[in-house]
Amino acid sequence: MAAQDPAPDCLHGKKQLPGFTWEVRANDRNYHMQFKKKFAFCLTKRKYAGNAIKTAKYNVFTFLPLNLYEQFHRMANVYFVFVILLQTFPEISTLPWFTLLFPLSCLLTIRGLRDLIDDIGRHQSDRNINSRPCEILTGKSFRWQKWCDICVGDIVRLRKESFVPADMLLLCSSEPSSLCYVETADIDGETNLKFRQALLVTHQELVSEESMAAFDGRVTCEEPNSRMHSFTGTLEWRGETYSLDSDRVLLRGCKLRNTDLCYGLVIYAGFDSKIMRNCGKIQRKKTKLDHMMDRLVIIIFLVLLVTSLGLAVASGFWAKMFQEKHSYLSALYKHTTPAQQAFFNFWGFMILLSIIIPMSMYITFEFIYLVNSFFINWDLEMYYAAKDIPAKARSTSLNDQLGQIEYIFSDKTGTLTQNIMSFKKCCINGTIYGAGSAHGNKELPGLRLTWSHHREKKLDFYDPALLAAAQQDSDPVLREFLRLLALCHTVMVEEKDDQLVYQAASPDEEALVLAARSLGYTFLARTQDTITISELGKKRTYKVLAMLDFNSDRKRMSVLVRDPQGTIRLYTKGADTVILERLQRRGPDETFTERALDRFAEETLRTLCLASKEVSEVEYSVWSRRHHEASILLQDRAQELDKLYEEMEQNLQLLGATAIEDKLQDGVPETIQLLKLGNIKVWVLTGDKQETAMNIGYACKLLTDEMEILEEKEISEVLQAYWVSNNNLSRRGEVLSSDRLSQQRPEASCHKKRALIISGDFLDKILHTGEVLKEKKGKLWQWLACGKAMDSQEQGSLVEKAFVDFATSCQAVICCRVTPKQKALIVQLVKKHKKAITLAIGDGANDVNMIKTADIGVGISGQEGIQAVQCSDYALAQFSYLQRLLLVHGRWAYLRICKFLRYFFYKTFAGLMAQVWFAFHSGFTAQPLYEGWFLALYNIFYTAYPVLSVGLLEQDVSAKKSLEFPELYVIGQQDELFNYRVFGVTLLHGVSTSLASFYIALWAFEDHVGTKAVGDYESFAVTVATSALLSVLMEIILDIKFWTVLSFLIVTASLLFFCLFSFLTQSIDAFRIAPAIFRFPDASLNALTDPYVLLVVLLSLVVNTIPSLTVRLYCTTVGKTSIQQKICLKSKREPEPSVELRSHVPRGSFHRRSSYAFSHQEGYAGLITRGDSLRARVTRCPAPVLPHPETTPASPSLPSPSA
């Protein structure tokens, strides 16, 4: 790196950047230990965090109190404890207090064990990460220690393929000029290599372990923050100050690639590192139905309170009237007053009616959730046989919410795509080659697949016709085309086990070089000014005269070479929008190539145009002199070089075009299409650049050519109009509806479909108190601020709501270059302002925060999926399995849970509200109507199993029909199956059933005692209980839509259990043994063998069933058409057309074809031409080898300035 200009790094003097208070001193642990900071009340902790991380929620001491605290956030648990406390008073108790404590303890234990198992997994993960080995400089040598032993200021040595343990300043590496190649897949999802480079001074000076130990530099930088792509600081050493930026820093979570050794100074450790700052906290997730159940428990409790109070007051008046009327019984009441009786009866009614919220419902709830989770785990349709990965429900309490998702937030790389670039097609000299072309489908006998006799592992392009043409070597255009692929790139090459291994700045470039190799043009080696290739077996070396590098503004790269014959040629590849306008002429071949580009665009392939020209010696000598002059300018160097590049890249001859496929996972377009039909909106949040994200959007049919693409300028205009309109309306006292957003941009209202594409930087602007609006309308903003129209928090909330309203009005949203924290912020905003149920799906550590924030988190078990899966609620192997998870399992789970709740509340009210009606005829005492055993077994044996079968097995349509008609999913989004209205109807239905069962029996028993003289209290109780039980069972028989053998057996078993337990608990023998416990001897036998009583039971059953049948008949014939019926009618009238992507771009429009195949922001041409990236032939002196605890490492070496 002798040519590196030290001037930009060196800031002479000792002026410290303002506001930077994070100071790191190398090899000085004592300095960092002395600093403390407050974090709660008077407590303090170390300012500089250690490198150990802890993502688990509990430890040995906090598990019990913290878990109980979380569990008692459920109102039902608080209610049960309240009832248990009442039961401890013998004056009002109806059951021993421990009989209710036992089931509550079981419920709390089941949930606590589930949380404990999840947290043990997090503890294990933390231990594995904290125990990873690393080499830390201790004294004057490096020693193997654990990640958790690293402190700020330590110097750490890293080896190839190891992960970076903390955020570190790169000091030097074994590569030339102390370059360091890293893969940042866990940070931004990109697998293409990025380079970092040490300062020239540390590269030259730190050449041995002794110099490392003596290094006493001081880094002053910004406090720990979550900004992944920025870093600002300075290094002070030996009286000089050097500027630092993100190119000098290795972030925790990066993987060291193509670099044998590197050395770094730890700046941020543990939770201060940027990736950990982007990891959100573990949140306890509750479903929508859970929240509703909490509110319903409060409502039911208030109703219970009012009912008990009313009955208690009535009992007081009744007692007073009774005592006045029957004064001869005054001796019985001399120790009590009517008020005291009313007081005790109030609590008695509270306990008696407390079973309206049965504990058994919550225990059954947990069992249903658990079994439905097993159904997901056992689904063979979601089993990925290629890698032996089944679907996994890691959370067992969120299944029903899978049926209510409205927004899906998806990562791109590794989630929608396989992160594999594949060379698919090309157009050369007016001929298209590749799969699906006329040539690509022909098999020529006796012809090998590729030039090297075997298929390339990473190549998916086999065209015998093209290989035959390349072998014949008779077409000069084809020869130049393949030569360009082998020459015009910045790929690095190294030899491993006699195999050439390519490392590229982007997977696109690697795909092109591999394609050239398969056709006989193999890239072999490069030096600072030469590149060697093999052309059909002949080795040729080209002198590189200049490399005109790619960047996102130029959208092209070129290489100027002199071939072995001395001819100078320029080879250029780039986006068609820039190449086609620089051609010398437009002939038939050029027109055909444009048509081919349109065809490639229809197939959503990433295209590049290839062109070349011959350069004369005179032209080159003039251009070379001007290029040298421009390259040494101190001001406007980049602009002058761009002008020279522009001059050279003119009058080109088109060679052809390439088409690369960014391979989607199987079934992604079909899955997104189904989800959209199910009214689920899919947003793509990616760290990748806009061009790549848009191309994937078209490939997976999230974007279509009919959509209007709105970018940052249009968004600013709409938000500005929204802001002005809202403030005007606010001053007039009007309320602004989100529907006005469509009116803010009249020209957009004619478009039915819009897509929003924004970057992370723009997102930061609009969400930090409206900076975009400040820039656009500064006076307006200042006027608002001066007028105190609203405080900054209200302003920020308004901008947030405007953005969310606008984004959710679009059919698709793609956010590019977003950090993990921004991904979570977007999810949080949609949850906050739309009150919608969200799902986040990703495969890497950069998706963890988003997965934790969303209502449902799904991890893809892919190459980078370990961290995402560990923090997810559900784990899938493929994105396409999402359709079955939501449209089948999610919808079924929601249907089952809603029917379960509906039926459970109905059977509870129908069976137990008779206690209230009985109070009106028992002097408003709290005497139970039913036998105690009936009350105890009603929710456990008599009615539990039918409702359990509904919660486990119910289906309205089959899995196949659920996928054929995704519109069925809307039911869950609209909360149609269980809401306050449904609960109210269920309550009235249950009350009416209990009224009919009670008063029909009362009416029958008033005048007639039956043939066996039954008319006593016990027979009456049995009659009411039997009527209510049969009515409840008949209701579920009518309600079950999916009958199985098990369903039939369960309903039959409920009746058999009623008969069996009635016989056992009402036998004479049991009464003789314990008359206080078994109080109804032979009551059922006497009552239910009387024909008169049986007719009364039958009458009650008919009266209770007729209204239910009438309502069902009305809904089927003249009621509102259900969604299922609409879908069936629609499918009969017109079949759903198959959805295919068609290009509607008019001729001459390059709107779609601008998706050029460059995945990186900037190439490595500068490194290559300076020689920074090329290994020197000087052998370095090896450093002492430290034995690894498990493996023997390769000999490390420190960098040498001679490189």
Burial class (CB in 10 A: 0-12, 13-18, 19+), 606: buried
The residues, ordered by sequence, that sit 6+ positions from 381 with a Cβ below 8 Å of its Cβ are 881, 884, 959
Q: What is the rounded CA–CA span in Å between residue 769 and residue 683?
A: 24
Residue 1082, sorted as left (phi over 0), alpha (psi -120 to 50) or beta, turns out to be left
Angle at which helices 980-1007 and 1017-1039 cross, to 10°: 140
Q: What is the rounded CA–CA span in Å between residue 173 and residue 181?
A: 10
Q: Name the token pair of 995.
A: 């009224």
Q: What is the rounded CA–CA span in Å between residue 1177 and residue 1179?
A: 6
Q: What is the rounded CA–CA span in Å between residue 563 and residue 484?
A: 12
> Apex CA 425: angle with CA 419 and CA 427, to 5°?
140
583, β-bridge pairs:
652
- What SS3 string covers 90-109? CCCCCCCHHHHHHHHHHHHH
Q: What is the rounded CA–CA span in Å between residue 1176 and residue 325?
A: 116
Q: Return the closest-CA partner of residue 608 out of 714, 495, 515, 728.
A: 515
Q: Name the token pair of 842.
A: 């990703």
End-to-end CA distance of the chain: 7
Helix (H, G, I), strand (E, B) or coil at 542: strand
Is 411 considered catalytic here?
yes
607, β-bridge pairs:
659, 1156
- Which residue out of 188, 272, 411, 843 is catalytically annotated? 411
- Per-position b or e across 1079-1103, b if 16+ CB within 10 A of its CB: ebbebbebbbebebbeebbebbbeb
594, β-bridge pairs:
none
Give the full edge-to-edge strand order of the sheet including 261-268: 141-146, 133-138, 155-159, 261-268, 167-173, 249-250
210, β-bridge pairs:
none
- What backbone phi and psi angles, to 5 degrees, belong to 22? -90, 110
Q: What does 62-79 look like in DSSP terms, one character per residue?
A: THHHHHHHHHTTSHHHHH
Quick one: which H or E segment has residue 333? none
CB 461 within 8 A of CB 424: yes
- What backbone phi and psi angles, to 5 degrees, belong to 1104? -75, -25
Helix (H, G, I), strand (E, B) or coil at 50: coil
Residues making up the chain, counted from first to last: 1203
CA dihedral 840, 843, 849, 851 (to 10 degrees): 30
Q: What is the rounded CA–CA span in Å between residue 106 and residue 1156?
A: 61
- Per-position b or e across 139-152, b if 16+ CB within 10 A of its CB: eeebeebbbbbbbb
Q: What is the rounded CA–CA span in Å between residue 1109 and residue 530?
A: 87
Q: What is the rounded CA–CA span in Å between residue 408 and residue 661?
A: 25
- Per-position b or e across 224-247, b if 16+ CB within 10 A of its CB: beebbeebebbbbbeebbbebeee
CA dihedral 31, 33, 36, 42 (to 10 degrees): -150
> Catalytic residues, which ones?
411
